[in-house]
Amino acid sequence: MKTGKMEKGARAPRTASRITTALLLLLPLLFALPSASASETELWDSGELEQGANWTHTFSMATNDMFYCKPHSPDQFPDFTGWVNVSDEAGASADDVTIYINDFSYEPRTVLIKPGVSVTWTNNDSAVHTATKMDMGGHEEEEEDSPGFAAGATFVALATALIMVRLRQRGRRR
């Protein structure tokens, strides 16, 4: 009659060994996979645009970028901001777009475009303006030697060690 317990001296199931091996091989790969390249997360800036000047930026992948004018910050000019939404949605434009700067505002304020489309900002105002992507979270500072990365690596290493111990304990109990 089987009781579900292993006989003394019997070999432990290979499942625990296979799981441990898989974890040891796969978990370190989490840190080898790139989360985003520099070009995908870079902050873009037109630089100062004099009256009549323009600047073009091509958006290669899906993003939702808020932009503003550096010399006329949103603190002073709350309506002097805009959005470039890059998406494969059906309503997204496949044509290049021009955003005009008039009377301390962007026209249009929001554009929805497909990846690969270029946006040109043209300054029709008498003041110097910019089109500058707003840094919405400081993702450029997250590097491998940052505390966040080290904490993540430590967590994965500890989790892997704990899983291995539990699997070995289960194998011994059977």
Contact call for residues 55 and 121 (beta carbons, < 8 A)? yes
Which residue, 153, 68, 154, is CA-closest to 104? 68
Give 31-55 pLDDT, tens digit per residue: 444 444 444 567 899 999 999 999 9
Contact call for residues 48 and 130 (beta carbons, < 8 A)? yes
Which string of DSSP letters, residue by residue, matches the chain?
---SPPPTTPPPPHHHHHHHHHHHHHTTHHHHS-S--HHHH---B---B-TT-EEEEEE-S-EEEEEEBTTB-TTT-TT-EEEEEE---TTSB-S-EEEEEETTEEESSEEEE-TTEEEEEEE-SSS-B--EE--SS-GGG--TTSHHHHHHHHHHHHHHHHHHHHHHHHHHH-
User: Looking at residue 42, what is its pLDDT?
Assistant: 78
Of 51 and 13, which is predicted with more confidence? 51
CA-angle at 82, arms to 80 and 87, nearest 5°: 180
* Antiparallel, parallel or unpaired: β 63-68 and 81-86: antiparallel
pTM of this structure: 0.58
Answer whether residue 27 shows pLDDT above 60: no
Answer whether residue 146 shows pLDDT above 80: no
Contact call for residues 93 and 114 (beta carbons, < 8 A)? yes
Answer whether residue 67 shows pLDDT above 70: yes
CA 116 to chain centre: 18
Give CA–CA dist 46/39, Å, rounded.
Answer: 16
